[in-house]
Amino acid sequence: MRNFSKDKLIKGISLVEALVSTAIVAIGFLAVFQLVNYSVNSIGVSGERTKINYITSMIAEDMIGSRDETTNTNPNSKQCLINDYGVPTALDGGVCPDNIKKFAQHINQSPIGYDSCSGKGGPIFSKDNMTSIYKNSLTEGAPENKLNRWGVILGEDRYLKCRDNPDGVGDRKTINVYKICTGTGCLPGSWDMIFDEIYIGRVEINTNAGNKRRTLYFQADYIFKE
């Protein structure tokens, strides 16, 4: 005679139990996939932040290292030298032409900014399409060569990923120099007791559609009052 009570114990799981088990396993897989996706995105954002930290420091080092170099100057036939006070002076002791400025003074009057993605970022598969970051011009000074390098790295998104935010504005990159002094052309709100000229550089690079940013302030130059 068949023992139905034993058959009841070995019949397996019901359809409802099978559906519930499948749902639990599916939720587990989805959770794992989300964790993996988050980890991958986090690695990408961390890599971009590391790069913008390096690039902002590079720009500050470029400006500080070449602070006594002047723009619009042929190194082979210099018209001006930097005196003991840090002021560009003609070789005969007179006044330099107006177009010859120290590096920080040039950035102060002509700040650099990139507000949109260039479309040139990403892998470069042909060497012909690659722009050299080094100008290596023998008739121009260090400032022009540095500016060319910044333009390629920041303006062409050579090393950074550029993403547009919902407003259509790309990752912003700006280089400014503020002049703190007394008199005309100084930063508004400068203290009246400051007689020397202090130039403060500011580099800001945004990434991840503006959600991550790096801002660096540094002393770009200092000109003593004569």
Pick the closest to residue 224 from 110, 126, 99, 85 (CA basis): 85
Residue range(s) defining the domain that contains residue 88: 4-223
Residues of the chain scoring pLDDT < 50 = none
Q: What pLDDT is recorded for position 164?
A: 66
β-pairing, 173-180 vs 80-82, is unpaired
Q: What pLDDT is recorded for position 1?
A: 55
> CA-to-CA distance for 205 and 162, rounded, in angstroms?
11
> To which residue do tokens 């500050």 refer?
60
**Predicted confidence (pLDDT) per residue in 51-83, tens digit:** 889 999 999 999 999 999 888 888 887 888 888
Q: Which two tokens stand for residue 140?
A: 């121009």
| Burial of residue 221, with CB atoms counted within 10 A of its CB: 0-12 exposed, 13-18 middle, 19 or more buried | buried
- Give the count of beta carbons closer than 10 Å to the beta carbon of residue 86: 16
Number of domains into which the chain is organized: 1
| Burial of residue 204, with CB atoms counted within 10 A of its CB: 0-12 exposed, 13-18 middle, 19 or more buried | middle
Q: What pLDDT is recorded for position 8?
A: 58
β-pairing, 197-207 vs 173-180, is antiparallel
Q: Which two tokens stand for residue 64?
A: 């500080």
Cα 46 to the center of its chain, rounded Å:
14
> CA-to-CA distance for 111 and 91, rounded, in angstroms?
29
> CA-to-CA distance for 161 and 174, rounded, in angstroms?
16
Helices (H), 66-114: 103-109
Pick the closest to residue 206 from 45, 37, 41, 60 (CA basis): 45
Reported pTM = 0.77
> CA-to-CA distance for 50 and 67, rounded, in angstroms?
26
Q: Is residue 93 within 8 Å of residue 165, measured between CB atoms?
A: no
> CA-to-CA distance for 19 and 132, rounded, in angstroms?
60
Cα 68 to the center of its chain, rounded Å:
24
**Predicted confidence (pLDDT) per residue in 124-152, tens digit:** 556 666 777 777 777 888 899 999 999 88
